[in-house]
């Protein structure tokens, strides 16, 4: 019973603890590449380059062999949000552990195929060689069932002194697309017959839509429909700029009942909230060590750690009455 409880209490690194299937993170492909599917997204912070380096390091392969798949709910592990500078400690540590275990599994297969011990094997860019002769590649050793398992706890990643990729300067994988204007985001996607929508926001929280005469907006160029569902108000048009113009006009003519005002930005309110504190370093007694003591209080308004670009989503209806077919 005690051993079972100890096993249940153990945690895997980062997001691997909640997404334990190795094949959710990595695929060893027969064409000599490795597909990496993190659940974090690139929003200008350069994390994808760092993740590529960590995987290449643990697998002992060239960076050019890695194929990075942007986060998608269809196949990527569920890592929640990308924020708070947590991508390396969550996604990075998970991928490092997964790649290290994938390497162990591949070496075990190589040892069995070549009839040698694990200690006699070395790896260079995915080629496993035995000290006494003979070799096999990752791509020859891999099979669909190799990573079809949950991650194990007893895996050792490389020590910092062994790193040859991590810690070096690598050209960021996200920069070329940004410099050349290559479509990279959901806002860049264009589907056949695609329409564009914009939502008209209420003037304040809990405000209710009281009156709307949408005839003028419905007759604007490109407008397909004005959508109202209770106090939800929006417009659909053939082109994006048409939807923007129509929404601006819609916002001017819509009449709303007032809602409650936003609460005052009172910094004293923060002191009433639950807080987690952690002492990083404690040396001496600062309260008594100084000859003079000064007191001051500094505050700043709320600042959102948010993307600069507006949120965007695409829905594709496949013509079925089944709502599950809308994606």
**Model's pTM, two decimal places?**
0.70
Residue among 91, 59, 89 at smallest CA distance from 163: 59
Residue 297 located in a structural domain: no
Residue 315 located in a structural domain: no
Instruction: Based on the fold, state whether residues 147 and 219 are members of the same structural domain.
Output: no
Residue 148 located in a structural domain: yes
Neighbours of 29 (CB within 10 A): 13
Structural domains of the chain, count: 2
Instruction: Based on the fold, state whether residues 48 and 93 are members of the same structural domain.
Output: yes
The predicted-structure confidence for 243-273, as pLDDT tens digits, reads as follows 999 999 999 999 999 877 777 777 888 788 8
Residue 136 located in a structural domain: yes
Name the residue range of residue 146's domain. 2-179
Where a domain ends, among 179, 211, 229?
Answer: 179
Q: 121-124 and 232-237: which strand pairing?
A: unpaired
Instruction: Based on the fold, state whether residues 143 and 204 are members of the same structural domain.
Output: no
- Residue 6's pLDDT is 55
Q: What is the mean pLDDT of the chain?
A: 89
Q: What is the mean pLDDT of each run of 10 residues along the chain (327 residues)?
A: 58 95 96 96 88 97 94 89 89 97 97 95 96 94 95 95 94 88 83 94 90 95 96 96 97 90 76 85 78 84 73 80 55
Residue 320 located in a structural domain: no
CATH number, residue 119: 3.30.365.10
Instruction: Based on the fold, state whether residues 94 and 228 are members of the same structural domain.
Output: no
Where a domain ends, among 227, 259, 291?
Answer: 259
Distances in Å between the alpha carbon of 136 and those of 106, 123, 133? 10, 10, 11
- Residue 7's pLDDT is 55
Taking a C-beta distance cutoff of 8 angstroms, is the pair 66, 55 a contact? Answer: yes
Residue 299 burial (C-beta neighbours within 10 Å; 0-12, 13-18, 19+):
exposed
Neighbours of 46 (CB within 10 A): 15
Exposure on the CB side of residue 220, measured as CA atoms within 13 A = 23
Instruction: Based on the fold, state whether residues 158 and 234 are members of the same structural domain.
Output: no
- Residue 8's pLDDT is 59
Instruction: Based on the fold, state whether residues 155 and 201 are members of the same structural domain.
Output: no
**Whole-number Å distance between alpha carbons of 45 and 174:** 9
- Residue 248's pLDDT is 97
Instruction: Based on the fold, state whether residues 168 and 194 are members of the same structural domain.
Output: no
Exposure on the CB side of residue 252, measured as CA atoms within 13 A = 7
Residue 100 located in a structural domain: yes
CATH number, residue 236: 3.90.1170.50
Neighbours of 35 (CB within 10 A): 15
Residue 150 located in a structural domain: yes
């Amino acid at each position: 019973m005690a051993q079972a409880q100890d096993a249940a209490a153990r945690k895997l690194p980062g997001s691997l603890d909640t997404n334990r299937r190795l094949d959710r993170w990595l695929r060893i492909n027969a064409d000599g590449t490795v597909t990496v599917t993190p659940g974090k997204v690139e929003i200008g912070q350069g994390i994808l380059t760092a993740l590529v380096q960590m995987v290449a390091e643990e697998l002992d392969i060239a960076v050019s062999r890695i194929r990075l798949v942007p986060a998608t709910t269809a196949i990527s592990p569920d890592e929640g949000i990308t924020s708070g500078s947590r991508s390396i400690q969550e996604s990075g540590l998970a991928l490092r552990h997964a790649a290290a275990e994938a390497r162990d599994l591949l070496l075990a297969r190589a040892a069995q195929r070549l009839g040698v011990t694990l200690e006699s094997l070395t790896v260079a860019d995915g080629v496993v060689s035995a000290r006494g002769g003979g070799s096999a590649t990752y791509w020859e050793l891999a099979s669909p069932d190799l990573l079809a398992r949950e991650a194990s706890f007893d895996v050792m990643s490389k020590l910092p002194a062994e790193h040859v990729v991590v810690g070096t300067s690598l050209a960021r994988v996200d920069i070329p697309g940004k410099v050349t204007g290559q479509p990279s985001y959901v806002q860049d996607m264009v589907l056949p017959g695609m329409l564009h929508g914009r939502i008209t926001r209420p003037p304040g929280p809990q405000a209710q839509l009281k009156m709307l005469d949408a005839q003028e907006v419905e007759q604007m160029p490109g407008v397909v429909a004005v959508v109202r569902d209770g106090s939800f108000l929006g417009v659909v048009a053939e082109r994006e700029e048409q939807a923007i113009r129509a929404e601006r006009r819609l916002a001017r003519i819509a009449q709303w009942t007032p809602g409650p005002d936003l609460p005052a930005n009172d910094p004293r309110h923060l002191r009433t909230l639950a807080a987690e504190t952690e002492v990083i370093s404690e040396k001496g007694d600062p309260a008594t060590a100084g000859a003079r003591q000064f007191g001051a209080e500094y505050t700043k308004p709320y600042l959102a750690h948010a993307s600069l670009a507006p949120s965007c989503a695409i829905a594709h209806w496949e013509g079925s009455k089944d709502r599950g077919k809308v994606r």
